[in-house]
Homo-oligomer: A and B are copies of this chain.
């Protein structure tokens, strides 16, 4: 039970290591009849590689995805959709020096403690490349949501100490950090230059907003919509905190401030006059915008010398060679979006069985 499956009805299983033959995902439980092409998925994967900037590893690989099953004549068939990306760059570079070392902030030691040994090439299964499968599957979930007029958008709220001050969605894709504030993006660039100079790295915050999600999805006890989102987001490597709505701030608020008043809109639909709750009450969506945030730690791979230990009982000084991203936050934006999309799609599918009248609507002759 290595925990590589996620979701209850819309269920994905990812596989693959950073330097093995490839990585992929099997998406089981996708409803039949969804139009789906390779480019739907490829376009999401491409967002994982900010590419031209100097703030992220310019891995040569194109990460071309292939649809291996589950799609026929341009539509999903209801059977498992298998997606694969071949690793181009498999030749075992000189990892010899890392094979026996426990890098600070990495999972080297904990993998050894669990399994007795590990695939040490490029982080193996705990590499950031593991998110390829999540994003590929998330692309399908996003397509389903779009068919239901539900739209999801993540962006960077802060990098290190540099937070956004304004919110202009049109700016998000115009800077390499996916920030909705051009000025903050410029400052973030400066901050990261400084980090690189100091052989150091930065973290940041990704925010994700979902519009158009209907009320009544999610379950009231363990499988609360916010609980499933929390798991989904915290399962992304390097995330150390998750917030829904006002999040941590709610803890120091007062009931009279934090409660959102219900009211009827001009069109007679129920809405709320504020949204401290972030669109979820009692674990179930309330029809408002869903809002969540992921707090991401600074990239653990830094090139300055670090104290650490090896497998053989010795304390050592480690210098990790090669280029390192001073920040992974921008690459995480599409991953946060994908994980949220997976949860939100699954909750809609699970919700189909919530009422007898649904059963009658679909099954009764």
Q: Quick one: which of B218, B349, B355 contacts A359, CB cutoff 8 A? A: B349
* Given A119-B72, A200-B255, A221-B125: A13 in contact with B16 (beta carbons within 8 A): no
Q: Mark A267-309, 1 if CB is under 8 A from B, else 0.
A: 0101001001110111111110000000111111110101111
Residues from chain B with Cβ under 8 Å of A130 in the complex: 221
Interface string of A224-265 (1 = CB under 8 A from B): 101111111111010011111111101111111111111110
Contacts known (A33-B357, A262-B309, A282-B111); A77 close to B125, Cβ less than 8 A: yes
Does A52 make an interface contact (CB < 8 A)? no
Query: Chain B residues near A226 (CB, 8 Å)?
Result: 234, 240
CA distance A6 to B223 in the complex (A): 8
The docked-state distance in angstroms from the alpha carbon of A270 to that of B304 is 22
Instruction: Indicate whether A336 reaches chain B with its CB closer than 8 angstroms.
Output: no
Q: Is the CB of B235 within 8 A of A15?
A: no
Asked if B21 and A355 make an inter-chain contact with CB atoms under 8 angstroms apart, the answer reads no
How far is the CB of A292 from the nearest CB of chain B, in Å? 10
In the assembled complex, the CB of A332 is this many whole angstroms from the nearest CB of chain B, namely 11
Q: Mark A34-78, 1 if CB is under 8 A from B, else 0.
A: 100000000000000000000000000000001111101001111
9 examples of A-B residue contacts, CB within 8 angstroms: A2-B29, A2-B220, A4-B222, A33-B116, A75-B117, A79-B124, A106-B282, A115-B354, A230-B231
The list of the 4 closest CB pairs from A to B, nearest first, reads: A107-B282, A3-B223, A3-B219, A113-B216
